[in-house]
Structure 1
Amino acid sequence: MSGSGQSTLHITDEQWIEEFCDYLHFELNRSPNTVTAYRSDLYALAQYCATQRAKQTTTPQSAVLPDMELSDLREWLAHLHRQHHSRASIARKTASVRRFFGWAKRQGLIEHDPALRLRAPKKQQHLPAALTQTQTSQLLDQMGAPAPNETGEHSAASHACTPTQQAVELRDIAMMELLYATGMRVAELADLNIADLDTAQNTVRVTGKGRKQRVVPLTQSALDATARWREQGRPHLVKASTPVEALFLGARGGRIGVRQVREMVDRHLRALGSTSASGPHVLRHSVATHLLDGGADLRSVQELLGHSSLQTTQLYTHISIERLRDGYRQAHPRA
């Protein structure tokens, strides 16, 4: 990377970053998106520090990562703050830097870890939006009605009529039922293979973050919708290039993409008229909230959703408490 006022990174800096990214990918089994985020954060740090040093000296550039100090890291975070990066973004970049220098210390590349005492601003905790159980029922019930077009409007022309359109409708119903039955992430849904379904046990095997697998029970409606898709819909989308193992296919026959699933969910949420809850994760949030409302224990919900930390799952208890509080205010005569 070079340009006005910038300095090309030293080969040692680049080598350390790439070795760390290989460690994330091959040893920790992190997803390509996660590795890309780490790489971007570390290159940004190294580039900033190299640029600052280039302004202060005319001597040939040396690597910046081997002799990084805590003060350098704090100055970089201050720079990010001045550039109006969000607290969540700065917190993520801080985590990237801390993990990198922890790895470098264990590898013997550095003697002292400069990020050991580095602290990021606390992220604002936003309660995840969730649909009510009534809204969720309406959402799933409307899936059999004429599908909303790109503007979110219903019309006779938008209703499935060709075999391909009917196949897409069956696929969308199955995907929506699975998302609500399991609380799985959209990327996990797109990655599902036919072999992941166990119709004898009424379960599905989900591969989550870090390639960790979990087995999740399925509702009867999700099983029925998936069976209809496989028997009546999927054959109409199969092409010569279709991956035989993929459960859900796009209109061109390839494995369905995450973006396609997100757009489908968003269209149906708009048709529902939900303004408080939007985005594909809304079904995941709704599953968690409805289970906790129904008396499920926190640990079971954690395992169902594939959360590595119980703290993440506990966010949903706050939603349930807020709903309890709202009902209390409305019903209690002295509230």
Structure 2
Amino acid sequence: MTTVAPSTAVRTYLDHLSVERGLAENTLASYRRDLRRYLAYLDQVGITDLSGVSEATVTEFLARLREGDADHQPLSATSAARTVVAVRGFHKFALADGMVTLDPAGAVRPPRPAKRLPKALPLSDVEAILEAAGEPETPLTLRDRALLEVLYGTGARISEAVGLDVDDLDLPPGEPGGTVLLRGKGGKERLVPLGSYARTAVEAYLGRSRPGLVASSTPGGALFLNSRGGRLSRQSAWTVLVRAADRAGVSADVSPHTMRHSFATHLLDGGADVRVVQELLGHASVTTTQIYTLVTVDNLREVFATAHPRAR
């Protein structure tokens, strides 16, 4: 097989991406930048023939990306992964085009980005937000308190909470709590317990606030209504939470997902089994829920480091 210079192969590949695959100019510029760095590395290690590239060559290039060098800052896992994807695509093309007989990059896996741990609020912040949502007591603040108690008390997604109908509640007389039927992704339903605090707030809203908000146009028994009698929107519910957090003086970024994360984390901190939390959150796989266990492990490490006499 004839010798193929890496720079020639890269030009051919970029032409292929531009002409045959029609990639956007911004995407092409990204490929060009990543492959230019790869070519510089191949030149640095003395590889002038594309067939001289081995799996070890590509693996070492990935290590250089993560470590950085005199001319480049270390790349994050996400940025390094993007560059490796460009290199893998290039070598796959070179093999398919007959430039080489082996693909040295096929077995090199891009680095996985670090898992982002969910941000959970301390219980004191959650309680301050819930209190602030209900003050001063008006029809709308009764609704707001009930909404946020349901979000935190059930771990509901914001879309699930605003999608609730009155008939989705089961509040048996003489019992402190109840249940609520949540409809999650893909139309999957789950029955979630409603604690006494959430039930008290919901009953206060149903008895003293919602009747005054109902209008002739109110859709099919929607639970949470806006001031015009329509179903409360996701955006409005988000605003309810943000305003309550501001009034409570909570400086952390707060979103409906924050309440859901806090629900899960506080349950696990309290000793709940991860599979129970999985069911409550409506996760299809326990793997999705297990990211919350990383948060509680961090809490354990903190306690250990400060409390154990030989921790340090």
**How many residue pairs are counted as aligned between the two chains?**
224
Kept after mapping to 2: 8 A contact 1:237/1:252:
yes
Kept after mapping to 1: 8 A contact 2:130/2:244:
no
Kept after mapping to 2: 8 A contact 1:129/1:276:
no
Aligned mates of 2:180, 2:272 — CA distance in 1: 20
Change (3 A) 1:87 1:246: farther
Q: CA deviation at 1:214?
A: 0.1
Q: CA deviation at 1:333?
A: 2.5
Tell whether 2:161 aligns with 1:189.
Answer: yes
Structure 1 letter corresponding to 2:145: I
Aligned mates of 1:242, 1:81 — CA distance in 2: 52
Aligned mates of 1:203, 1:326 — CA distance in 2: 35
Q: Compute the TM-score of the two structures, normalised by the length of structure 1.
A: 0.59
SS in 1 for 2:287: helix
Aligned mates of 1:257, 1:140 — CA distance in 2: 19
Tell whether 2:262 aligns with 1:314.
Answer: no
Matches within 5 A, 1:195-234: 195-200=167-172, 202-234=178-210
Structure 2 letter corresponding to 1:308: A
Q: Tell me the equivalent position of 2:142.
A: 170
Change (3 A) 1:173 1:126: same
Kept after mapping to 2: 8 A contact 1:140/1:176:
yes
Q: Compute the TM-score of the two structures, normalised by the length of structure 2.
A: 0.64
SS in 2 for 1:206: strand
5+ residue gaps, structure 2, are: 1-14, 34-76, 86-106
Give the % identical residues. Answer: 40
Q: CA deviation at 1:179?
A: 0.8
Q: CA deviation at 1:127?
A: 0.6
Offset from partner CA, 1:224-283 (integer Å, 9 cap, x none)? 111111111011111121113101101111100000111111112233333344211111
Tell whether 2:30 aligns with 1:82.
Answer: yes
Deviating more after overlay: 212-221 vs 273-282: 273-282
Deviating more after overlay: 203-212 vs 229-238: 229-238
Aligned mates of 1:242, 1:289 — CA distance in 2: 36
Kept after mapping to 2: 8 A contact 1:190/1:255:
yes
SS in 2 for 1:205: strand
Q: Tell me the equivalent position of 1:256.
A: 232
| Greater gyration radius | 2
SS in 2 for 1:204: strand
Aligned mates of 1:80, 1:309 — CA distance in 2: 37
Change (3 A) 1:310 1:81: farther
Aligned mates of 2:147, 2:133 — CA distance in 1: 11
Tell whether 2:124 aligns with 1:134.
Answer: yes
5+ residue gaps, structure 1, are: 1-51, 58-71, 95-116, 147-159, 161-165
Q: CA deviation at 1:327?
A: 1.6
